[in-house]
Amino acid sequence: MPFFSNLDILLFSLIAGLLVYWLVFRKKVEPIPEFKKLDAQTTRETSFIDKMKKTGKNIVVFYGSQTGTAEEFSNRLSKDAHRYGMKGMSADPEEYDMSELSRLPEIENSLAIFCMATYGEGDPTDNSQDFYDWLQEGDADFTGVKYTVFSLGNKTYEHYNAMGKYVDKRLAELGAQRIFDLGMGDDDGNLEEDFVSWREQFWPAVCEHFGVEATGEESSIRQYELKVHSDLNMNKIYTGEVGRLKSFENQKPPFDSKNPFLAPVSVNRKLNKAGDRHLMHLELDITGSKIRYESGDHVAVYPINDSVIVNRIGEVLGVDLDTVISLNNLDEESNKKHPFPCPSTYRTALTHYLDITNPPRTNVLYELAQYATEPKEQENMRKMASSSPEGKVRSPALLNILAILEDLPSLRPPIDHLCELLPRLQARYYSIASSSKVHPNSIHICAVVVEYETKTGRVNKGVTTNWLKSKMPTDNGHKATVPMYIRKSQFRLPFKSTNPVIMVGPGTGIAPFMGFVQERGWLKEQGKEVGETVLYYGCRHKNEDFLYQEELEEFEKTGVLTALNVAFSRDQAEKVYVQHLLKKSKEAVWRLVHTDNAHIYICGDARNMARDVQNAFYEIAEELGGLSRAQAVDYIKKLMTKGRYSQDVWS
């Protein structure tokens, strides 16, 4: 009897054949999507030189921007070029091959302008990080390249305008020719004023250098043209999404600035017991989002403008806000096809995409002035837009666009031009007030609701905090959601849990320290050895705004917090602040820092508190370390360099 029957052999052959087919043919179809993906990538033009040649441009304005201001200034400078018989383009260094800069002299009368913002502790912005790294490592030859830099920063920060200064210095070292002085913009003063003053001197210098004359064209130059859609499918219209159409209905990770996650609000409670301010604690649910965060990171939130202001703008300008429109770039070669996601409606643009609450910048006022039919009102607007002393007196202190339209009855600009000129509404950043070790599925925010009265008697409200305040966990049976993503930070607990930490944070500066303390408590529970954990916290009144009082006192009771030092600034005749408490316990502070390798963390107001606290550390180092003032300053600077003195501050 044969070992295999004919039927066995037939079945065996069939199975073997199917297996061969599966292995050979199934595998062949897989690489096709991959090939398409590669093909799509190669089509994006990374040569700004080729683009400039193709479009007849001779000025390129690069921007390093975190909040949109440097990008806005960059757009203004590229538009300015037209008034001087030149042609400019604004460019994101992240989108181009920056080593091409050495080819710029191939274009006649060419110039590279850099609008560079400094972020955090002297760092480059996210979009200029690669350019910064390349400048540091590279040894390019920029002979013949002509350039100038305008830097954006804030004087209250330790590394004021560090990024702009570095780019200015490094380009010169690599052989480029600076044709106008480095501009210094200070956001602690008046950034707009600094930019306008610099720009007014810059362009005459450019004209002189290249031997060109201003064309005298003072009329407005439109960058976008309006298209009204009458029969567009509603599924093709943006309704508030930041990047991808319908991304809020169909959420897909990974989540980032272009694709935020709609996090449901699970908790929204008032933190302070009394007083006229509203301090709040919010918890955002990130279950199932695959979002990861570390203690010390920031949560970025996309706010929505007040519908009352939006509706009133529509009323004043007499337009139907639900008209579906697109604003299309007149320069077809531009990477920026629209000023905000299009097609959209005026209502969506004013609600989700445009900043309608901050005072408009001078260029917006200047361009809108042409629409004022009353000569006196037109003249007033032009003065407001200039850098003259008279203009500064008349400047619309804290007036938003609606207030200006209401105060100037003859000013009725076309709404599409207004939408073109207004800057984009930016995400707001908050220090995360929780630890992912303890709360892996939620992110906590601690914030104060901004509301104040202006000189004109109008009430100004902070866009994001007032919007967040209204976000209750359930809203008419629906879950209230917040579009958000995570921005990584360098504000980190020491790698070794045995290192002591000294945390200084008044007011809402307590936020990241709630995460730090939760994490130190979690480490203890895991049986890890944890160094001393010392907190210096400041508020106005003990019975009013001692934030997280119960939690902090519990942490102290269980030994997670080695010392809880609280300064109540207004509970006695003389003011007591965190820096006073630091000096009061100077021996313990010096021992932790000098002997025990403690890490110091400061969070909160940069203008006064951070500076006063730093001075307190200088004084402690002088007195207990026997150092001169210069040596004490050097001592603290060295701690900063080693990552042992970190700041998360804002002004």
Q: Per the annotation, where are the binding residues for FMN? A: 65-70, 117-120, 152-161, 187
Is 387 a known active-site residue?
A: no
Tell me the two tokens of residue 25. 């043919």
Q: Name the β-bridge partners of 535.
A: 503, 564
Cβ–Cβ under 8 Å, residues 259 and 354: no
Cite the annotated binding site by residue number. Answer: 65-70, 117-120, 152-161, 187, 277, 428-431, 446-448, 452, 462-465, 508, 569-570, 575-579, 612, 650
Is 650 a known active-site residue?
A: yes
Tell me the two tokens of residue 369. 């002035």
Tell me the two tokens of residue 219. 């009329």
Q: Which residue has the tokens 């709360």?
A: 439
Is 198 a known active-site residue?
A: no
- What angle separates helix 611-625 from helix 629-641, to the nearest 10 degrees? 120
Sort 126 into a burial class: Cβ within 10 Å, 0-12 / 13-18 / 19+.
middle
Cite the annotated binding site for NADP(+) by residue number. Answer: 277, 508, 569-570, 575-579, 612
d(CA 352, CA 158): 34
d(CA 332, CA 357): 31
d(CA 212, CA 192): 27
Residue count (the chain):
651
Cβ–Cβ under 8 Å, residues 266 and 442: yes
Q: Name the β-bridge partners of 23.
A: none
Single out the catalytic residue among 203, 522, 590, 650.
650
Q: Name the β-bridge partners of 442.
A: 285
Cβ–Cβ under 8 Å, residues 601 and 504: yes
For residue 343, whether the previous peptide bond is cis, meaning omega lies within 30 degrees of 0, is: yes
Single out the catalytic residue among 168, 355, 605, 648.
648
Report the DSSP pairing between strands 474-475 and 478-479.
antiparallel
For residue 67, CA distances in Å to 79, 300, 398, 475 come to 20, 11, 19, 30
For residue 220, CA distances in Å to 102, 160, 318, 371 come to 34, 34, 23, 11
- What angle separates helix 511-525 from helix 549-557, to the nearest 10 degrees? 30
For residue 24, CA distances in Å to 17, 20, 31 come to 11, 6, 13
Cβ–Cβ under 8 Å, residues 579 and 616: yes
Is 115 a known active-site residue?
A: no
Q: Which candidate, 354, 378, 79, places its Cα nearest to that of 217?
A: 79
Q: DSSP for 141-199, please give it.
A: --TT-EEEEEEEE-TTSTTTTHHHHHHHHHHHHTT-EE-SPPEEEETTS-HHHHHHHHH
Q: Spell out a b/e string for 224-242, using b for 16 or more CB atoms within 10 Å of the CB, else e.
A: bebeebeeeeeeebbbbbb
Single out the catalytic residue among 431, 435, 436, 489.
431
Cite the annotated binding site for FAD by residue number. Answer: 428-431, 446-448, 452, 462-465, 650
Single out the catalytic residue among 489, 545, 603, 605.
603
d(CA 88, CA 91): 10
Q: Which candidate, 558, 598, 446, 597, places its Cα nearest to that of 512?
A: 446
The residues annotated with a catalytic role in the active site are 431, 603, 648, 650
